[in-house]
Chain A
């Protein structure tokens, strides 16, 4: 029995493990990215509807509905202007 390690075999094993790890990372990353891209429009529409509903309530009148997949910047501005930080009283942050 030889005490010398089979370097070539170990290289192959190491390469296979590395390839498997990289492949797994790439696949999971690609899956996350495509998942986000697929659901981005629906997510934007939901956020836009919520922000618009708040802006209408703050303004006490209806605002023009934003186009699909687009956030109404006026609604965002109105909600921003009407908000105060939750933990810092009237101190302003994140404008």
Chain B
């Protein structure tokens, strides 16, 4: 009877000790987790959030087309064209370089100048420009190549075109491109009517996958893309040669 009571007491003390230890270890684990979370959320918050946003989200701007300038009879005096520059980075490996080179002419016939294989092999690892004046329809020919070419870079810029008339050209003035590609008037009528002619750039956000590629279904519009308004001038131009 006494021995049984002693064993029960010993079991109770052993259980109590085990429970205390378990509680201590659990509290220690919780404390470590909380400290780690506090480090991420309070101390390293700025750095962590910046790194995550930089790596996983792309926020882009699409420059708007600048409006046209027309004379009082509706003839176009100045207009903008969006043109694309396409560059291809030749792979460092000669086999990959020749394989990628093989798909180029088939996908974009007539758009890419002919290269000799020796020329390609001599430029392994370098960027080569495939063209600088492609229009939107032409550049779409490169879309199927995205899966075949490891590195293909396409950039858009604007060309402000004017009628071939020195007097009108001097009156119209000049435009320059800003960092986001928007054309801004800096002199003449382009400057005078800049607020009307300049459109509103579209802004969007998209999530990137682990390879840095867009996940298109995550695309979100942040600001509308709106082209600039046309300006009708109360003057009559001479010859509208070269107008679209």
Given the known interface contacts A4-B12, A51-B216, the answer about A81 and B58 at a Cβ–Cβ threshold of 8 Å is no
Secondary structure type dominating chain A contacts: helix
- Interface segment among A11-19, A20-28, A71-79: the answer is A71-79
Instruction: Flag if A47 contacts B217 (CB, 8 Å).
Output: yes
Pick the residue among A54, A90, A93 that contacts B58 (CB under 8 A).
A93
**Contacts between chains A and B (CB distance < 8 A), count:** 106
Cα distance, A74 to B138, chains bound together (Å): 12
Instruction: Flag if B143 contacts A73 (CB, 8 Å).
Output: yes
The verdict on A32 contacting chain B, using a C-beta distance below 8 Å, is no
Pick the residue among B60, B139, B153, B221 that contacts A78 (CB under 8 A).
B139
Chain A residues, Cβ within 8 Å of B61: 83-86
Instruction: Flag if B82 contacts A58 (CB, 8 Å).
Output: yes
Chain A's interface size range is 35 or more
Residues of B9-31 at the interface with A, using a CB-CB cut-off of 8 Å, are: 12, 15, 19
Given the known interface contacts A73-B143, A74-B140, A94-B214, the answer about A79 and B62 at a Cβ–Cβ threshold of 8 Å is yes
Q: Using A76-B216, A83-B61, A90-B155 as known contacts, list a sample of 4 further A-B pairs with CB atoms less than 8 Å apart, ordered by residue number in A.
A: A60-B82, A77-B142, A77-B143, A80-B60
A residues with CB within 8 A of B: 3-5, 7, 40, 43-44, 47, 50-51, 54, 57-61, 71, 73-74, 76-87, 89-90, 92-95
